[in-house]
């Protein structure tokens, strides 16, 4: 499995923790930046980079971080085919994969402690999409995209 990582300055330290954690699990990461927490940067740039890598199948999933997880997830969700879930608890992390087939996860460094954030990542990666009626609903999300991306 290959994971694309991205963040702005507000999510940089959490991204590093996630990268380290995934490394200990033997999971390959592609880091799309940013590369420090000292220079203020714009989260849409990094959300878009990771999202485009996911839809191009350069990586299997994306994990992005900013201060709240919100801005960078909004950016990622502008890319057709992306279902990026902002999550702050393990139950939602599991459900975002099981029911929504989220292909990106977004976390807020200013919201979550490292321990919980890594538990969320683990819960998310270890959960499978359940398909069935949930597939119909996920397909309906794609229909909305098609309507507005002619």
Interface residues with ligand RB5 (CB under 6 A) are 8, 10, 43, 66-68, 70-71
Any idea which residue has 């683990």 for tokens? Answer: 122
User: Known catalytic residue: 99?
Assistant: yes
Query: Closest by alpha carbon to 114, among 7, 14, 11?
Result: 14
* Token pair in block for residue 109: 């460094």
**Shortest spacing between CB 121 and ligand RB5, in angstroms:** 18
**Shortest spacing between CB 68 and ligand RB5, in angstroms:** 4
65, 66, 84, 134: the active-site residue: 66
User: Known catalytic residue: 84?
Assistant: no
Residue (68 or 96) nearer to ligand RB5, CB: 68
CA atoms within 13 A on the CB side of 4: 23
Q: Give CA–CA dist 36/58, Å, rounded.
A: 24
Residue (62 or 125) nearer to ligand RB5, CB: 62
């Amino acid at each position: 499995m290959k994971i694309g990582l991205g963040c702005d300055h507000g999510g940089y330290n959490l991204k590093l923790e996630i990268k380290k954690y995934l490394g200990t699990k033997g999971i390959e990461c592609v880091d799309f930046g940013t590369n420090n927490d000292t220079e203020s940067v714009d989260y849409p740039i990094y959300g878009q980079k990771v999202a485009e890598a996911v839809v191009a199948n350069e990586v299997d999933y994306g994990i992005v971080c900013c201060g709240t997880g919100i801005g960078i997830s909004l950016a990622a969700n502008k890319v057709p085919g992306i279902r990026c879930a902002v999550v702050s608890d393990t139950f939602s992390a599991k459900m975002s994969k099981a029911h929504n087939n989220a292909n990106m996860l977004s976390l807020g460094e200013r919201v979550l402690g490292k321990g919980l954030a890594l538990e969320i990542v683990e819960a998310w990666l270890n959960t499978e999409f359940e398909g069935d009626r949930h597939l119909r609903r996920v397909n309906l999300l794609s229909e909305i995209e098609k309507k507005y991306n002619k």
